[in-house]
Every structure is written in structure tokens, then in C-alpha cells.
Chains A and B, each alone.
Chain A
Amino acid sequence: MNDETAIYAENLVKSYGRFEALHGVNLEVDPGEIFGFLGPNGAGKTTTIRCLLDLIRPNGGKVRVLGLDPQKDPVQVRSRTGYLPGELHIEDNMTVESTLHYLNSLRGNKADWNYIQHLAAQINLDLKTKVKNLSKGNKQKVGVIQALMHRPELLLLDEPTFGLDPLVQHEVLNLIAEARSGGATVFFSSHILSEVQEIADRVGIIRSGIVVEVAQTESLINRALRRAHIRFKQPVEVQSLANISGVSILSQSDNQNVTLQVEGDMDNLIKALATFPVLDFETEHPSLEEIFLAYYREDRSLL
């Protein structure tokens, strides 16, 4: 860990009674990056985020947020952080405007009201509406605004686009990207893999309370399995391709069309194909979703 690290967790352990939610989470998030924290429900995403804000106390391990210990300096950590809870609950009998005024007053009125109005306009939220009359998606918009309104150094967002329609999802992702270009670090959990793939610089995958993989989003996609669709000019002996290291045949409609799965780099396959009459060659990266599911398949195989 260096002083610049935005989030640092080392062997973070958290139990609820007999249930151990985090088994030793290790994480390092650099300043200015967008870090996507992936995992299904119950994997430990929310528990990790709540430990970072001192809402819950870990049973072991070390945590630093913006170089501070959340247990020793919780107020300092929270003043520099914006948080969107996974399940947002706000008082029903207030308007959106009065809710944001109240939350802003808890921050010493640090937020600029013009900026709040700009955020509200961008995601199409009426500030005069009573919270109890808001749909789930619109409540989520209030959560997004309150997290962003004071231009925090660090954004901790637990499922930020949950319940939003695709258009607003896109706007929220734009706001997150905008916050990052303003210098903020963004740590957000999600199980919507396409959005993580869209905006995250790096991805962490948490599985049953342990971070199993942290990588650049691109490299995670690139280094994993690929698919190659090949069309030959004339029928060939495609079985010979299966002998290439890291290559297996996924499907073969005839001896002119074949889909291969390639593990690792493509070099061996390309060299081997040089001896074949190739008409068309198309490769495809797996989506983050497929990679994510692959990690879970591995997990299940261990059980």
C-alpha cells in the first residue's frame, strides 16, 4: 500500500454471528480509477463497502480509505466519500429537495445547489416531488445525486443503476464517468456485467467472501478464452486443428465451417491455419459475463 491508494483492504474478515461473510478480502484501488466490483448476491460486495464506511466493524484485517482508518477517522472518511447504498431508504414524507437539503446540511452545506440542479436535470428528476410518490427508479436517482452532489474524492456505489431504465442507466454511467474526469475515484459494485465492462478500468471479482481476481477489464477479457469462427474455401480435415495446443473444437457444421475455442494466445492457431485454404476468419472475445460465469463454474467445481 502507498499513501496514494484510494482503497486498501488486507485480509478483511467479517462475520455475522456464525456466518462469515468475508473470508479475507484483499483489495487495492488506485486514485482516479473506476473499479468495478463484481459478484452475485451474497458474495460480500455490500459487506465490503459497509466496512469501508465504518457502518459495520470487521472482525479482522486492515482497511484504509484515502489513507485513513475508517474506524479511527470515520467522519473524515465520510466527508471525502459519496455513498450510494444497495438498498436506498429515505424518509418518505419529505420532498426530494428537502431530502437533499437535509443531507447537504449533514455535510456542512458543502454541496453547490446549482450542481445539484444540474445533476437532477441530467437524470430527469423533479426536485419538488415527495419521496413517497417516487418510483423505485426515481428514488435511486435521489441516491445517485446525494452521492455525487458534494463532488467527493471517492465514490462508493453499491449497484448504482439498480432499478433504472436503460436510458437513465446510461445517464448515471455518464455521471460516474464525469465524476472520474473531475478526479474522483469510483468503486462500484454491480452484477450487471455490461456496465462494468463499459466504464470500469479494473475489475475485481468476489466469490463467497474472497476476491478471486483483480485485473484490467480489457486484459481480463483478452487473456481469457476466445472463439474463432473459420470458413474454408474447400472441405478440410478440421480435426487436425484440435491437436493445436489450447485449441478445441466447439462446433463443426461440415468440413468447411468450424468454431474453435482458443485458450491463451492465437499464435499457434494462426500459424497452423497458414497451411489451410481459409476464406474467412473471425474471432470473438467472450463477454465479461462469460468470464464471470467461468469463475463461478470453477467455484462450484471446488464445492
Chain B
Amino acid sequence: MIAVFRHSLTRYIGQILGWGIALALLGIYGMLLYDTLVEPQAQQQFEQLISSYPPELMTFFGDMSQMFTPGGYLDTLFFSYIPIIVGIFVIISCAGLLAGDEEKGILDLILAHPISRVKLFYGRVGAFTIAVIAILFITWLGFVLPLPRTSMNATAWEFILPFLSLFSLLMFFGRLTILLSMLLPSQQWATMTSGLILVASYFLTSLARLSEKLKPIEKYFPMHYYQGGKALTDMNWGWFGLLFGFSVLFTLLALWLFERRDIRVSGEAGWHIAAFRGRKPVGSVNHS
């Protein structure tokens, strides 16, 4: 498993550095801008600017009434929309994690080596998880390094909390995508389905701030349980646990399917539910 883990992690180095540094720079820039924006005069001008935009647009950047609190500022600056951007990377990566290599035929060769499907699965999923943690860690550094130069009243530890909330949401969508890639006939289908749920969830949760009609269904979408910048001062560990719990459940289901399915090569995929067509229960095949 170590060999698979190490190799898979190596494949992510470019993405870790690319995403991590880019997001960290965004964090540094935003943090250094904080003091300028919260000055009373600038605040007043900014409020006027915000009020000139339609609320249907501004709702996608978090709760604007909290814009000048540290949590609200972080939300608008970063955490309100970043799940969509990083989420797409997570979804594409997770769809390709096993199904991508399977469709390319690479898995056929790898699984002909003495490595069990369980170890291959955990090696790859583990490497992906570490890659996401590394990206978030570098980003976190970008936020906390300029912290002493700002008047923001928060500690480096408190800054971990919104990142944990983001991590739980990314894990939810990542693992959901892996599960879908085991159920659906191709990685493209998994990417599309998971991406659709992510975007729909983002839109619905954002618009629910404006529409009472959407409030009752909002809770059925994962984004509702993502706190973003608000976690800085009021982390809801129950919501974190819920998203994380679902990601664990999706992982176990995906593993269960992966262990039982045929490794596809081009032309074999179809709309068969993998769980019901792969390995027959022991007994129906003669094991004597």
C-alpha cells in the first residue's frame, strides 16, 4: 500500500503546489487588505457599493451583513465561493482516482501485481486526502502568516476551523464522486453528476438566504452544513461530523463496490449497477 500511496502522492505534487500557492497568495492579499476595508470610512463606502449590487448576486459571496466581522470578511473574501473552485478540482481528481485509470487500461496492469484491491483503494484515496490537506495547509499559511500585521482579532488555531469546515465539504464531494465512479459507467458521468450536485447545492444554499421558500429544502443539500468563515468564531462540530460521516460512508460503499466489480477495459462499461453484476456470492461459483 505504501508504494501505491507514495506513487499516487507524487502524481499530486504539481497540484498541491499549484493550488496551494495560488490560494495562499489570495489569502495573503486578502488579509493585508483587511485593515483598509474595516476602516469606518472605507466600510461606509463599501457598504454603499454593496447596496448598489442586486442582492441576488451578492448572496453568492456569503452573508453581506456580516462582511465587516472577521468571519464574514473571510467568507466574502474566500470561503463563500472556494468550495466551487476547489470542489471542481476535487471532483475531477476523485472521478479519475480509480475509474480514470481503469478506463485508460492502467488499472489492468497495476492490479495484475500482488496488491489487493483494498490496498490499492486506500493507497490512492489516502494520497488524495493528504494532497487536499496539503493544499489547505499551504492556503492556511497564506492566511495566518500576515495575521500579526492585521488588526484581525483571531488566532492561528481559530483559522484552522473554517479550513476544517471546508475540508469536510471537500471530502463529502470527493468521496461521493468516487462512489459514483463505481456506480456509473464512466468517470465523465461521475464528474457530471457530482458537479451538478455541488453547483445546485451552492446555488440553492446561497439563494436560500434570500428566499423563505427555499429554506425547507436547503437542509437536504450538503452545502447547508458547510460553515465557511463563520466557523472561525462558532464552529458547529455536529455539522462537521455529519459531512465527514457521510464521506466515510461513501468511502466504505465505494470500496465495497470496487472489491466486487470487474475491472473494466474499454468497451465493457455499461449501465449495469456494478454491485449486482460483479463477483457472485461464494457458492454460486464452484470453489471446491
A residues near B, CB below 8 A? 10-11, 16-17, 50, 53, 55-62, 69, 71-72, 74-76, 78-79, 81, 83, 85, 87-91, 102-103, 105-108, 143, 146
Contacts and interface: CB of A to CB of B under 8 A. Distances in A.
Given A59-B285, A79-B114, A102-B3, A89 B105 contact: yes
Interface in B230-288: 260, 262-263, 265-266, 268, 270, 272, 277-280, 282, 284-288
Nearest to B110: A106
Contacts of A10: 286
16 contacts: A16-B268, A53-B111, A55-B112, A56-B262, A56-B263, A57-B278, A59-B280, A60-B280, A60-B286, A75-B114, A75-B115, A78-B114, A88-B109, A91-B106, A105-B7, A107-B114
B35 interface: no
Contacts of B4: 106
B286 A90 contact: no
A152 B7 CA distance: 24
Contacts, number: 94
B112 A87 contact: no
Given A72-B287, A105-B3, A83 B105 contact: no
A56 B286 CA distance: 16
Contacts of B116: 74-75
Closest 6 CB pairs of A and B: A89-B105, A79-B114, A83-B112, A106-B113, A105-B3, A56-B262
Contacts of A61: 285-286
A89 B108 contact: yes
A218 B113 CA distance: 34
B104 interface: yes
Contacts of A69: 287
B106 A17 contact: no
Q: B7, B104, B285: which has the most chain A beta carbons within 10 Å?
A: B285
Interface string B1-32: 00110110000000000000000000000000
A280 B59 CA distance: 99
Contacts of B268: 16
Interface string B30-45: 0000000000000000
B114 A17 contact: no
Given A78-B113, A106-B4, A87 B263 contact: no
Contacts of B113: 78, 103, 106-107
A56 B288 CA distance: 19
Nearest to B2: A105
A17 B285 contact: no
Interface in B162-218: none
A284 B277 CA distance: 50
B34 to A, nearest CB: 41
Contact of B111 (A55, A57, A59, A62): A55
A55 B263 contact: yes
Contact of B108 (A55, A58, A59): A55
Contact of B279 (A17, A57, A79): A57
Nearest to B6: A105
A89 B112 contact: no
Contacts of A106: 3-4, 110, 113-115
A252 to B, nearest CB: 50
Contacts of A78: 111-115
Nearest to B265: A87
B7 A102 contact: yes
A46 B234 CA distance: 58
Q: A11, A53, A56, A62: which has the most chain B beta carbons within 10 Å?
A: A56
Nearest to B104: A89
A108 to B, nearest CB: 7
Contact of B280 (A57, A85, A87): A57
Q: B3, B104, B109: which has the most chain A beta carbons within 10 Å?
A: B109
Nearest to A91: B106
